[in-house]
Amino acid sequence: MHLPLPEPLEQRPLGLPVHRTSTFAFATAQDYADVLGFRKPGYSYSRIENPTVVAFARAVAALEGHGVDGPVAADAFASGMAAIATVLLTLCRAGANVVAPRALYGGTYGVLTADLARFGVETRLVDGGDLSAVRAAVDADTAVLWAETLANPTMAVADLPALAGVARESGVPLVVDSTFASPAVCRPLEHGVDLVVHSATKYISGHSDVTGGVVVGRPELVERVRGARINLGGSLSPDDAFLLHRGLATLPLRVERQCASALAYAQALSRHPRVARVDYPGLPGHRDHDLARRLFDSGPAGTRYGAVVTVTPAGGRPAGLQFCDRLRLATIATSLGGHHTVVSHAASTTHRQFDDAALAAAGIDPGAVRVSIGLEDVGDLIADAVHALDGLD
């Protein structure tokens, strides 16, 4: 059976076309050779490049590159972890070390300590907020300085300009996982960061219906990561690129609203008698409040401090678990950044490998609950949380 191909479209559609194809046809064998040899522009194979995926990557580059001197490029991946693993494999070699904050995303910690360690890459974990500790850990074999704009679940803010200074002094690339902030809160390239990675699964998608990742930065560096992505194969699919591109269209609106709701939620809950502690950089008592004000964007509702709030009910582990169970509007689930408010009890989920001593060292209470604020009515969200707290044992 032969299914004929459609003619190329002359007109430009306003919606993003989904080029759901693994391969691209050439008029002549010479065209095929010229495209592969970079003598002619064109697409050959979707693991290498696909127009829908390129459109998504370019949109992220435009967003993250806003206010940055010089060109910015981006490359898209099938998940945040595909992006992170590919960046680390691009920059590291046997005998190198990576300097990263102790409060590191679990998946990144896994790639470094379980996978890259077998290839002779050493991981040096430091207090990311202690600049002299960071500086002391960096040496001639450091291949990457890693940071996270907002750390989970303490919501510690990375001092990006200061870390960029350390990276520049030592000639080491600074890579920042900015998933928790999203480009609608902070654009790390503006602060001297070399590469930004996102789990696009979170705020960029915004609808909890797709996984994806993206790497953004100077074109020379992104080009090296792209080369590794083509070899390693963690490329984004065209359908998922369509959903992520659509997510970008409403990202600033969604995040603006989620941040405003998160601030109101954090303020209301910090006054509740059953709450021991609320970690949210929008609260003046948070250790990084001033830094967040300096680094993060503001809009009509004031500075955007992100939309993840960590609530610690008094009563330790059982109180944290019971708080989650008593919520009716918020869902118990992993992930964040979507329009549904979701909660997870840190000590039994994201930080389950930590015993109580390790939790204490990391500044995490055994009762801490991470709340990713969604797009529900904020009054309803607060009423739900107050009801859950009022009924705790």
Which residue matches tokens 């806003």? 66
Could you give the 3-state DSSP secondary structure of residue 190? helix
Burial (CB count within 10 angstroms: exposed 0-12, middle 13-18, buried 19+), residue 263 = buried
Please state whether beta strands 142-148 and 174-177 pair in parallel, antiparallel, or not at all (unpaired): parallel
- Which residues in 137-166 contact ligand PLP (CB under 6 A)? 148
Closest CB 157 distance from ligand PLP, rounded Å: 14
Site string for ligand PLP, 179-198 (x = CB under 6 A): xx------------------
- Using CB under 6 A as the binding rule, whether residue 217 contacts ligand PLP is answered as no
Give the binding range for ligand PLP (CB under 6 A) out of 30-38, 62-70, 177-185, 369-377: 177-185
- Judged by CB under 6 A, which of 86, 154, 205, 211 binds ligand PLP? 211
Q: Which is nearer to ligand PLP, 85 or 330 (CB)?
A: 85
Q: How many CA atoms lie within 13 A of 377 on its CB side?
A: 4
Instruction: Provide, rounded to whole angstroms, the least separation between the CB of residue 240 and ligand PLP.
Output: 11
Give whichever of 99 and 275 is closer to ligand PLP, judged by the CB atom: 99
How is the beta sheet containing 275-279 ordered, strand by strand? 275-279, 308-313, 369-372, 342-345, 331-332
Angstrom distance (rounded) from CA 277 to CA 285: 10
Measured from the CB of residue 331, what is the shortest distance to ligand PLP in angstroms?
Answer: 17
Report if residue 105 touches ligand PLP, rule: CB under 6 A: yes
Return the number of the residue (98 or 382) whose C-beta is nearest ligand PLP. 98
Query: Which alpha helices (H) appear in the chain, and where do they start and end?
Result: 29-36, 51-64, 80-91, 106-110, 131-137, 160-170, 219-232, 238-270, 289-295, 316-326, 356-361, 378-390
The catalytic residues are 47, 105, 177, 202
Is 215 near ligand PLP (CB under 6 A)?
A: no
What does the binding site for ligand PLP look like in residue numbers (CB under 6 A)?
79-81, 105, 107, 148, 177, 179-180, 199, 201-202, 211, 213
